[in-house]
Amino acid sequence: MFHVIIPARYASSRLPGKPLELLAGKPMIQHVWEQAQRSQAASVTVATDDQRIEKACHAFGARVIMTRADHPSGTDRLQEVASLLGLEDKAAVVNVQGDEPLIPPALIDQVAGNLLAFPAASMATLAEPLHDAAALFNPNVVKVVCDREGFALYFSRAPMPWCRDDFAHNREQLPAKVPFRRHIGLYAYKVSFLHDYVRWPASPLEQAESLEQLRALWFGCRIHVADACEAPPAGVDTAEDLARLRTLMEASE
């Protein structure tokens, strides 16, 4: 059994009010909530610090928890909600971003199932094979390297693993048989881990890379990583992403 929490902030730096933007006649946050409702989650809760988002969610029947506005990360917001809901330490929580209106329910079930299937893991997340050299060298694409059991060794915006000899001669084509993987930002957590996480200071690696999952590795937690069972659609970060997705969704109606 697991629970889904959807953090939804109004004050996005690149696209303010993003959760309330309309897609095919519905606010984006409603699409995310509906996809999460199709998963096997025992409950789905929207977490927000904005009354406009709270009002919109109540209009389509979602459960909403109002949180503090000063959380430094989405993980901190999840911990507050898990506490307010009274979830047990052993419970599993999946963080579904409020800007993923087409998130496949199968991925939500997969990442939750993986967390529950690997007792050594404090967190679980997903990845997909990376075959494009431009993506490998793009700092906006987060890469992950894992051990033989599927636990993360490191996440980075830098290209990794670094194929020393191959890249010395050619960086336009990726070497064959090297497990390059792109990280997909869908997480499942044990509630006990969330309580620990918010007490830890930000780690130097987390600050350097601007990747909050590195705090977990810094403090010795294990993160299970599996290839996603299906390709995740792109989320919405910019106005251009929104326009593209709006056209796609309206065309499919």
Q: Which two tokens stand for residue 127?
A: 């990845």
CATH of domain 2-121+183-251: 3.90.550.10
d(CA 175, CA 161): 11
Instruction: Say if CB 22 and CB 62 are below 8 A apart.
Output: no
Alpha-helical segments (H) within the chain: 28-37, 51-59, 74-85, 105-117, 133-136, 164-169, 191-197, 204-209, 213-218, 239-251
- According to DSSP, residue 18 is labeled G
Model pTM? 0.93
* Cis status of the peptide bond prior to 161, with omega within 30 of 0: yes
- Can you give the residue ranges of every domain in the chain? 2-121+183-251
Residue whose pair of structure tokens reads 């659609």 in the numeric block = 233
One digit per residue, the tens of pLDDT, for the chain of length 253 reads 999 999 998 877 677 888 999 998 899 999 999 999 999 999 999 999 999 999 999 999 999 999 998 888 778 889 999 999 999 999 999 999 988 999 999 999 999 999 999 999 999 999 999 999 999 999 999 999 999 999 999 999 999 999 999 999 999 999 999 999 999 999 999 999 999 999 999 999 999 999 999 999 999 999 999 999 998 887 888 888 888 888 888 767 6
d(CA 54, CA 140): 31
